[in-house]
Amino acid sequence: MKLNVVYTLFALFLIAAGSLSSSSGAGAVQGVDRTGSPVGSGSCASCHNSGSFDPSISLAVLDDGMAVSEYQPGKTYQLEVKVTAASGSPSAYGFQAVALSGVDNNGTGSFGTPPQGIQLTSINGREYAEQSQRASEGTFVVDWTAPDSDVGEIRFYAGGNAADGGGGTGGDNGVFLDAPLTLGFSTVSSSAAISPIATHYKILGNPIQSQLRLLLEGGSAGDYQLDLLDYTGKLLQTQTIVFNGTQHNTEIPMSDLVPGFYLLQISNGQQRHTEKILKQ
């Protein structure tokens, strides 16, 4: 009889621990990295895998609402993690995210004061952002400040959870990024005092059907780099044009891309401008 009581109490403890973990963050409760990173112990999907929500997860580093693919030293950005269910209606969401750099996967940069519902947790000297309580929505945003110097490529990992709210891990679905979001070091200043890279430029026809047509008029002659990125900051296409300082027309094919928002970055190596593009 005593043995049965012990087993019963142990089972109840496991259920309570699972419920607490899903609501208060795996880092704070269990002291583990569940982002799918190289220094982690699996992902949220390791335990939360029996639900039917089929969630996806995305991560973006934003500067005034625009996704970036490079970081500037000491600049503060917004880290946005979204967990989206493809089916069903989860009653709660959770996440965990970390920024790593170097061959030793050191924690890099620093998170700002977290908003309501998000907490910062230290695990093995690395700082993680994660939920501090069950969230009714799957979008999480927290400030992140880049390191003060060039540390090379920075890799962001994130895991998430769509939960049924029943307690424990049953009926939930964990998910993590297929690949980390990477940011390179930017040598381009974003100071508002910098003059435009061209006196006039026009994107002809936005929203775009199949071809993005760009017209440059006036400004400094030289080589210009055009980068097309998706809204998470992933580079899709790049090309270099030689601008004579008078006028230049160029086209970027977009017929193979799915409808949605994209980013066009125009740079001459000293100044850069980013435009939001809508593909229909």
Query: What is the H or E stretch that residue 80 is in?
Result: strand 76-85
At residue 168, the pLDDT reads 55
Three-state DSSP at 129 gives strand
User: Is residue 273 domain-shared with residue 170, that is, in the same domain?
Assistant: no
In a domain, 191, yes or no: no
Q: Where is the domain boundary, 157, 185, 213?
A: 185
pLDDT tens-digit series, residues 123-148: 999 999 999 988 899 999 999 999 98
pLDDT of residue 166: 59
User: What residues in the chain have per-residue pLDDT under 70?
Assistant: 1-23, 25, 42-51, 165-171, 187-200
15 and 49 inside one domain: yes
The answer to whether residues 95 and 216 belong to one domain is no
Structure tokens at 108: 């890099």
- Evaluate if pTM is beyond 0.85: no
Question: How many structural domains does the chain have?
Answer: 2
Which CATH number is 229's domain given? 2.60.40.2550
Shared domain for 142 and 221, answered yes or no, is no
- The pLDDT value recorded for residue 48 is 54
- pLDDT tens for residues 146-197? 998 889 999 999 999 888 765 555 567 889 898 999 998 876 544 333 345 5
Same domain, 26 and 93: yes
Q: What is the pLDDT of residue 51?
A: 58
Residue 49 located in a structural domain: yes
Q: Could you tell me if residue 195 is inside a domain?
A: no
Does residue 25 lie within any of the structural domains? Answer: yes
| Residue 168 and residue 43 share a domain | yes
Whether residues 161 and 31 share a domain: the answer is yes
| Residue at a domain's end among 142, 159, 185 | 185
Domain boundary among 124, 152, 185: 185
pLDDT computed for residue 5 by the predictor: 38
- Return d(Cα 115, Cα 119) in angstroms, integer: 8
Is residue 20 one of the residues assigned to a domain? yes
Three-state SS for 119?
strand
Q: Specify the pLDDT at position 221.
A: 80
- Assess if residue 194 is contained within a domain: no
74 and 45: one domain?
yes
Per DSSP, the chain holds a count of helices (H) and strands (E) of 2, 20
CA 184 – CA 4 distance, rounded (Å): 57
Q: Which domain holds residue 237?
A: 200-279
> Looking at residue 14, which CATH number applies to its domain?
2.60.40.4060
Element (H, E) at 8: helix 2-24
Look at residue 192 and tell me if it is in a domain. no
Q: Are residues 114 and 251 in the same domain?
A: no
pLDDT at 102: 94
170 in the same domain as 269: no
Domain identity same for 171 and 105: yes
Residues 174 and 247 in one domain: no
What local confidence, expressed as pLDDT, does residue 45 receive? Answer: 53
DSSP string, 15-64: HHHHHHHHHH-HHHHH----B--TTSS-BGGGT-BS-S--EEEEEEEEET
